[in-house]
């Protein structure tokens, strides 16, 4: 398996962290080299379509490399993906959301279809538990569904409706089916496949029930993210049913994994087991917080607070998705068992907790008469710097590991 995939994944993470540092510097120092909105578009698109997307592909390929039949497709497919992602990132920095960035983003979607078809075809002959296959296929379906949003944005813009609620609805549609669909489902499927390889017992039947409940509830729960549009009582009830269904499904997933921790500890150590538990706690917290949006007054406060929305997005992308990616990198042997790995994981968690604590504290001061916490901007900058340091440490930890063999 080509080693450039591993280095590209880590370099994308580092670039995402560095652009985050840049954005945190702008409020503290006047830096006009690149407009903030251009940085924001580049940062977010590289995080989604570079770091996470390629990270998921890396885990899949490394986990199933010996059994993959169409290996000849991998180099042209991944090289095309990497080149388009880099050009798209540069286009966003240069012009923001405009002609070249839109063209390259659209091209990226078609490469996503290529990847989805490739993985789906390979899965037909791969050995894995049925629950892992369900979650991974569900992830591929929601990846394709999420791509409908960028196409609709072009139509909405062509009709001159950029400032209408439909534009924001389309963006939330994309975020919902990426965060709660593609990222979540595929990560859970990969995790099931990994622990199955280690002969770690889990409740297969309960996971199957959890998948179907989650997948069905995923569609009405989209309405939960656009309650600000005042959709009416019927749609509000439907959104609540979807969100409660997802919350129950997540609870079933956690119960399905309740017996794995002792076995994981024997394989990987107690500190690693605590990190796995933290990821699942964050997953539960995320879905529990979403239930709070059913309270109209609280929902209004959340939608009007930018720091809380950013905190929620980072809770998912950093706390659950990124940390879960690093955990699975470790489980498939990408990291050495060393002090630098422990340090990298520790700094990442500290960075995440600092970032979330300050963002939600900022939101709390906006909602109440509490005094503004001093040095919040400096604290957020420190969190971004620590995130970059953790990325460099984990990249360094992976440098001497063989990527050919998993076990």
> What is d(CA 150, CA 156) in angstroms, rounded to the nearest whole number?
10
Q: Has residue 154 got a pLDDT over 80?
A: no
Between 174-178, 223-227, 292-296, 335-339, the lowest mean confidence (pLDDT) is in 292-296
Rg (CA), the chain: 21
pLDDT-above-70 percentage for the chain: 93
> What is d(CA 56, CA 189) in angstroms, rounded to the nearest whole number?
11
Model pLDDT for residues 111-142, shown as the tens digit of each residue: 999 999 999 999 988 888 999 999 999 999 99
The predicted structure's pLDDT at residue 406: 36
Mean pLDDT on 370-396: 89
pLDDT-above-90 percentage for the chain: 59
The predicted structure's pLDDT at residue 404: 42
Q: What is the mean pLDDT of the chain?
A: 88
CB 11 within 8 A of CB 46: no
139 versus 312: which is more confidently predicted? 139
The domain limits of the chain are 295-407
Mean pLDDT on 20-46: 88
Closest C-alpha among 59, 315, 71 to residue 189: 59
Mean pLDDT on 284-289: 90
Provide the 3-class DSSP secondary structure of residue 401.
coil
What is the pTM for the complete model shown? 0.92
Closest C-alpha among 362, 287, 301, 390 to residue 20: 390
Q: Which of the four pLDDT bands, split at 50, 70 and 90, describes residue 361? A: confident
Sign of the alpha-carbon torsion through 346, 347, 350, 355: negative
Question: Dihedral through CA 28, CA 30, CA 36, CA 42, nearest 10?
Answer: -90
Between 23-32, 138-147, 333-342, 354-363, the lowest mean confidence (pLDDT) is in 23-32
Q: Has residue 59 got a pLDDT over 60?
A: yes
Provide the 3-class DSSP secondary structure of residue 30.
coil
Question: Dihedral through CA 157, CA 159, CA 163, CA 168, nearest 10?
Answer: -60
CB atoms within 10 A of CB 296: 11
The predicted structure's pLDDT at residue 304: 66
- Cα-based distances in Å from 337 to 254, 342, 343, 397, 401: 27, 8, 11, 8, 10
Q: Has residue 228 got a pLDDT over 90?
A: no
Q: Has residue 1 got a pLDDT over 80?
A: no
């Amino acid at each position: 398996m080509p080693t450039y995939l591993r280095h590209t994944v880590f370099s994308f993470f580092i670039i995402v962290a560095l652009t985050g540092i840049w954005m945190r510097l702008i409020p503290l120092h006047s830096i006009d080299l690149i407009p903030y909105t251009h940085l924001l578009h580049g940062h977010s698109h590289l995080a989604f379509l570079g770091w996470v997307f390629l990270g998921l592909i890396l885990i899949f390929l490394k986990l199933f490399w010996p059994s993959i039949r169409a290996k000849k497709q991998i180099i042209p497919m991944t090289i095309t993906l990497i080149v388009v992602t880099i050009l798209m990132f540069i286009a966003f920095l240069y012009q923001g959301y405009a002609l070249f960035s839109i063209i390259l983003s659209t091209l990226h979607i078609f490469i996503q279809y290529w990847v989805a078809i490739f993985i789906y075809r390979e899965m037909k002959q791969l050995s894995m538990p049925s629950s892992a296959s369900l979650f991974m296929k569900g992830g591929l379906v929601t990846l394709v569904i999420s791509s409908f949003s960028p196409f609709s944005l072009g139509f909405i813009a062509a009709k001159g409706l950029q400032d209408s609620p439909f534009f924001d609805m389309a963006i939330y549609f994309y975020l919902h089916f990426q965060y709660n669909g593609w990222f979540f489902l595929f990560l859970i499927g990969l995790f099931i496949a990994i622990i199955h390889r280690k002969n770690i017992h889990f409740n297969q039947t309960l996971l199957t029930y959890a998948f179907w409940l989650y997948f069905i509830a995923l569609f009405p729960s989209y309405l939960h993210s656009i309650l600000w549009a005042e959709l009416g009582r019927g749609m509000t009830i439907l959104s609540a049913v979807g969100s409660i269904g997802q919350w129950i499904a997540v609870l079933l997933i956690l119960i399905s994994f309740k017996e794995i921790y002792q076995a994981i500890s024997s394989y990987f150590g107690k500190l690693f087991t605590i990190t796995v538990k933290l990821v699942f706690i964050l997953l539960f917290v995320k879905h529990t917080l979403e239930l709070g949006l059913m309270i109209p007054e609280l929902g209004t406060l959340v939608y009007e607070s930018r720091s809380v929305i950013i905190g929620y997005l980072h809770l998912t992308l950093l706390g659950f998705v990124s940390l879960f990616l690093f955990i699975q990198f470790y489980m498939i042997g990408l990291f050495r068992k060393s002090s630098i790995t422990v340090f990298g994981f520790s700094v990442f968690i500290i960075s995440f907790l600092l970032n979330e604590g300050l963002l939600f504290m900022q939101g709390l001061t906006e909602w109440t008469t509490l005094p503004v916490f001093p040095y919040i901007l400096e604290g957020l900058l420190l969190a971004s710097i620590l995130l970059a340091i953790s990325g460099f440490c984990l990249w360094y930890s992976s440098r001497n590991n063989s990527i050919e063999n998993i076990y």
